[in-house]
């Protein structure tokens, strides 16, 4: 079921209190309620709640602890932390001042996510009515797209190969009357996508390039999402400890699909194009090899020094195609490098962009939307690191330094023609459950990007 706000007329009133507000609130209630709050020791710490019983013992209201500003600064969705301590019911915010009502309401919607494909899980039984003054329809749209992203990432590779990823794109196209073309298998060679073919040809399902288009007016916006449905590392085989989460290596595709859904559902006046190179990086007799030199769509040659640096190869061909349209803005999203995780950890989505208008708009939007990003540099002196002796480019520079930056520089080589380009090196995974964020697949960056688009594209 898509995430929705509660519409019941008998929702329990929820009073959101900070620690300094508890005594004043209790003093304004009946002696029985005041005594109950005092006896319960409720201090309104962040992540706590207290049910208020009526004469028959059934709850008639609830309190949610909102903590201190310092505590809230450490949580993306502070109010959602109180949800597990509430009794199953629908709630309406009756009093309290929220730092950002729309963000808190979205966090509550996010908390209703359940992944139930392989195991039954209790449904969302603590719902919220939409707070006054927010755009409830927009928030439901954002949450539905986030749930799509989470589902796609959470599904294991046995059920989320290139064919299934293609079907997800086809379902999205059908829902919003978008056009879609898919180039599959050896047709990739015929249509000059040689690196997508080389990376995916050893997989159990044929590699493919998914090309979705929607909208006939407005600026051109092109999204490119890495769709490596499973990454063994190829002949440079990953150790088992590094392979365990590789079902999420299509997180870039999942995030761009979620972003595309938001854009279409909200009817943004853009010419949207979504490109997803969908492959598996597998080990088999046709696997591409260390030491091979591949020729890209642009004719640039790439020396393969590590088959585990395959994401930039498939993205390069897709970016080159996208740039041929001279889009006003082109974005790539990929679970590309472990170096990005070392640099900023799992919570932040590092991005690269040289356009200050986009950077400024995105940075503000990320804070407003509780969708954090962090700017990284296209550091020009590192260009020499991706230039080997026998080919134009190196897919895996030796030395181990600046891995996320050199990957971004590699991708930028294939974006000539795009008016603006930004690359997001995301993780797309929540390592441990947090308020509004279940353990597992996660959207990183799409809400911030969506909020920045009107300023960047003049919508």
Residues with catalytic function: 238, 312
Angle of CA points 452, 458, 459, to nearest 5° = 80
Q: Which ranges in 155-306 belong to alpha helices (H)? A: 162-175, 187-190, 194-200, 240-243, 251-265
Instruction: Give the torsion through C-alpha atoms of 244, 245, 246, 251, to 10 deg.
Output: 170
The Cα 155–Cα 164 span in angstroms is 10
Tokens 């972003």 correspond to 259
The Cα 426–Cα 60 span in angstroms is 44
DSSP for residue 131: P
Tokens 């490596």 correspond to 228
Dihedral sign (CA 149, 79, 88, 134): negative
* Residue 217: burial class (beta carbons within 10 Å; 0-12, 13-18, 19+): exposed
Strands 179-184 and 293-295, how do they pair? unpaired
Phi/psi region, residue 41 (left: phi>0; alpha: psi -120 to 50; beta: rest), is: left
313 in Cβ contact with 294 (< 8 Å): yes
Tokens 């990183």 correspond to 444
Torsion angles phi and psi, residue 330, rounded to 5:
-125, 130
Q: Which residues contact residue 64 at a Cβ distance below 8 angstroms, ignoring those fewer than 6 apart?
A: 14, 15, 16, 17, 48, 49, 79, 82, 86, 96
The Cα 127–Cα 133 span in angstroms is 18
Beta-bridge mates of residue 441: 429
- SS3 assignment, position 213: strand
């Amino acid at each position: 079921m898509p995430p929705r706000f509660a519409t019941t007329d008998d929702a329990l009133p929820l009073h959101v209190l900070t620690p300094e507000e508890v005594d004043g609130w209790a003093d304004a209630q009946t002696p029985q309620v005041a005594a109950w709050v005092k006896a319960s020791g409720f201090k309104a710490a962040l992540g706590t709640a207290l049910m208020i019983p009526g004469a028959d013992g059934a709850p008639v209201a609830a309190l949610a602890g909102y903590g201190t500003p310092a505590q809230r600064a450490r949580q993306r969705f502070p109010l959602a932390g109180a949800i597990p301590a509430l009794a199953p019911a629908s709630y309406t915010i009756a009093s309290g001042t929220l730092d950002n009502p729309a963000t808190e309401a979205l966090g509550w919607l996010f908390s209703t996510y359940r992944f139930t494909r392989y195991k039954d899980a209790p449904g969302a039984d603590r719902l919220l009515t939409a707070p006054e003054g927010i755009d409830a329809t927009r928030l439901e749209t954002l949450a539905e797209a986030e749930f799509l992203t989470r589902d796609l990432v959470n599904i294991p590779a046995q059920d989320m190969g290139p064919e299934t990823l293609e079907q997800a794109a086809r379902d999205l196209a059908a829902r919003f009357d978008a056009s879609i073309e898919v180039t599959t298998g050896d047709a990739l060679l015929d249509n000059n996508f040689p690196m997508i073919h080389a990376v995916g040809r050893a997989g159990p399902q044929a590699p493919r390039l998914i090309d979705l288009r929607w909208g006939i007016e407005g600026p051109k916006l092109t999204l490119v999402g890495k769709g490596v449905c499973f990454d063994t590392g190829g002949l440079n085989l990953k150790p088992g400890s590094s392979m365990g989460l590789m079902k999420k290596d299509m997180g870039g595709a999942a995030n761009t699909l979620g972003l595309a859904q938001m854009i279409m559902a909200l009817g943004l006046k853009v010419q949207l194009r979504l490109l997803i190179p969908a492959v598996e990086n597998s080990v088999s007799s046709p696997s591409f090899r260390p030491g091979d030199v591949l020729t890209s769509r642009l004719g640039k040659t790439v020396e393969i020094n590590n088959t585990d640096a395959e994401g930039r190869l498939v993205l390069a061909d897709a970016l080159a195609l996208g740039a041929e349209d001279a889009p006003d803005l082109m974005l790539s999203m990929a679970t590309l490098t472990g170096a990005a995780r070392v640099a900023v950890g799992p919570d932040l989505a590092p991005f690269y962009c040289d356009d200050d208008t986009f950077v400024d708009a995105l940075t503000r939007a990320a804070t407003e939307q509780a969708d954090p990003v962090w700017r990284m540099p296209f550091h020009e002196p590192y260009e020499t690191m991706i230039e080997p002796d026998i080919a134009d480019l190196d897919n895996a520079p030796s030395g181990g330094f600046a891995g996320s930056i050199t990957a971004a520089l590699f991708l930028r080589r294939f974006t000539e023609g795009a008016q603006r380009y930004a690359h997001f090196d995301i993780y797309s995974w929540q390592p441990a459950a947090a308020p509004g964020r279940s353990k597992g697949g996660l959207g990183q960056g799409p809400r911030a990007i969506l909020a920045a688009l009107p300023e960047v594209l003049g919508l």
